[in-house]
Chain A
């Protein structure tokens, strides 16, 4: 029997919870059809999390893409269908991606990350476009460009070092009407690998604590800089990401297992730590940096 997973019309990190909720009730070896026919818009998080969803299934999932041609065409240009063909059984009309056409607001189309070389490629590709968008459109200091690329590098490496399998990254700029009415640049990195809790549990000599769950693991990794490796230099990547996000009034959220931890700026009302969410493996990271506004 195939279970239909309905994708909401607008797909971002908030609304994707509706998808996780549906998926969590279906055993991974059971067939699912991910139905995005009525979806009109998806954030980079939405698109990369859809790929992670397929990765989480033992039985290859089926996928029906947006009926709306403009939406489908955009997803194709963002690289979604190219990767979806590898992990999904595609149903219905699959738009052809036109290589020459690239979106001006897509800083990095969906890219798979499974090896160290992939991170080099991501960083090389992002730099020229990041400068143009971060400085000229989002009015950030030119220094932000290098820090942005450092942040991207660190979150991508998180997949290689901790996921145990590949994941996907995408970077896009768009106007964030719901909360800010400003332009934002968003990095999304999603995988369905081992996740933070199991990664930290694999540390040599790890012993269970009185309280130990996904939320605690996320706090250890993001707030306390704990790593599964013993080297003193480990655990700095996420600390650096936090500093970057804090400096540019951005938002960072990491979902893993049944919890989500966020560094929340004034313009957002997310809770810093949310527990008891529907279980989904791996880690799903989103970083949002808003356009800078002049004081007064």
Chain B
């Protein structure tokens, strides 16, 4: 169910085996198409970790192609698959590019930074962030369990969780909402 994509390897395999930098739109588009092909071939629902640890430079154009367009395509179901994505192995400069892209698309993605901590990158209101934190701590929860921790009525919690689900920041299995990190 969990799939790992080393973006550095995809870059070298699809564009040029001498490159370590993810720069220019054509390069980003080639890498994204390769990742889309992988996602479309997975059993669903799927969780994919996109790993940037072997990538040197990531410029804004490539961040847009590889992260922005990919996640936007999954969210809008242009890429027709039930895929969830985590991002890993990003440095501060990668993060800056990814954050700028997420702002433009009004999307958020969960990213593991260099310190090993998971962060939500991109616009997300405080209520959703707090709910996502609690789901992450629980790993898996139903709204009634979370209502107490969040001091909110279950209906409001369900609404927030559905918002997170729509943004593909949590998964839903057997009536429970599941933190993406807990699936790893």
Whether the Cβ atoms of B100 and A236 lie closer than 8 Å is yes
A45-94, CB < 8 A from B: none
- Among A148-156, A197-205, A213-221, A272-280, which stretch is in contact with chain B? A148-156
- Among B15-23, B137-145, B167-175, which stretch is in contact with chain A? B15-23
Contacts of B25 in A (CB 8 A): 116, 157, 161
Contacts of A160 in B (CB 8 A): 24
Contacts of A117 in B (CB 8 A): 16
* Docked CA distance A233–B69 (Å): 8
Asked if A123 is an interface residue, CB under 8 A from chain B, the answer is yes
Whether the Cβ atoms of A236 and B104 lie closer than 8 Å is yes
Partner of B100, one of A124, A161, A240: A240
Contacts of A149 in B (CB 8 A): 21, 57
Q: Which residue of the partner chain A has the closest CB to B62?
A: A153
A143 and B92 contact, Cβ closer than 8 Å, known pairs A120-B16, A150-B60? yes
Whether the Cβ atoms of A116 and B26 lie closer than 8 Å is yes
A232 and B23 contact, Cβ closer than 8 Å, known pairs A147-B93, A150-B97? no
Asked if A194 is an interface residue, CB under 8 A from chain B, the answer is no
* Docked CA distance A190–B23 (Å): 20
- Interface 1/0 per residue, A104-127 and B, CB below 8 Å: 000000000000110110011001
- Interface 1/0 per residue, B24-43 and A, CB below 8 Å: 11110000000000000000
Whether the Cβ atoms of A120 and B23 lie closer than 8 Å is yes
| Among A231, A234, A236, residue most surrounded by chain B Cβ atoms (within 10 Å) | A236
A146 and B93 contact, Cβ closer than 8 Å, known pairs A116-B25, A120-B16? yes
Asked if A237 is an interface residue, CB under 8 A from chain B, the answer is yes
Partner of B24, one of A119, A127, A231, A232: A119
Q: Which residue of the partner chain B has the closest CB to A151?
A: B59
- Interface 1/0 per residue, B112-144 and A, CB below 8 Å: 000000000000000000000000000000000
Whether the Cβ atoms of B61 and A237 lie closer than 8 Å is yes
* Docked CA distance A236–B16 (Å): 25
- Write the nearest CB–CB distance from A58 to chain B, whole angstroms: 30
Query: Chain B contact residues: over half helix, strand or loop, or mixed?
Result: helix
Contacts of B26 in A (CB 8 A): 116
A123 and B100 contact, Cβ closer than 8 Å, known pairs A154-B59, A237-B60, A237-B61? no
Whether the Cβ atoms of A116 and B93 lie closer than 8 Å is no
- Write the nearest CB–CB distance from A57 to chain B, whole angstroms: 29
- Write the nearest CB–CB distance from B118 to chain A, whole angstroms: 22
Whether the Cβ atoms of B23 and A153 lie closer than 8 Å is yes
Asked if B6 is an interface residue, CB under 8 A from chain A, the answer is no
Asked if B96 is an interface residue, CB under 8 A from chain A, the answer is yes
* Docked CA distance A154–B100 (Å): 14
Q: Contacts A120-B21, A124-B19, A149-B57 given; 16 further ones with Cβ under 8 A? A: A119-B24, A120-B16, A120-B23, A123-B23, A123-B57, A124-B21, A127-B57, A149-B21, A153-B24, A153-B57, A232-B72, A233-B104, A233-B105, A236-B100, A236-B101, A240-B100
What are 21 A-B pairs with beta-carbon distances under 8 A? A116-B24, A116-B25, A116-B27, A120-B27, A123-B23, A123-B57, A146-B57, A146-B91, A147-B93, A150-B59, A153-B21, A153-B23, A153-B57, A154-B59, A157-B24, A157-B59, A157-B61, A160-B24, A232-B68, A232-B105, A237-B60
Chain B residues at the A interface, C-beta cutoff of 8 Å: 16, 19, 21, 23-27, 56-61, 64-65, 68-69, 72, 91-93, 96-97, 100-101, 104-105
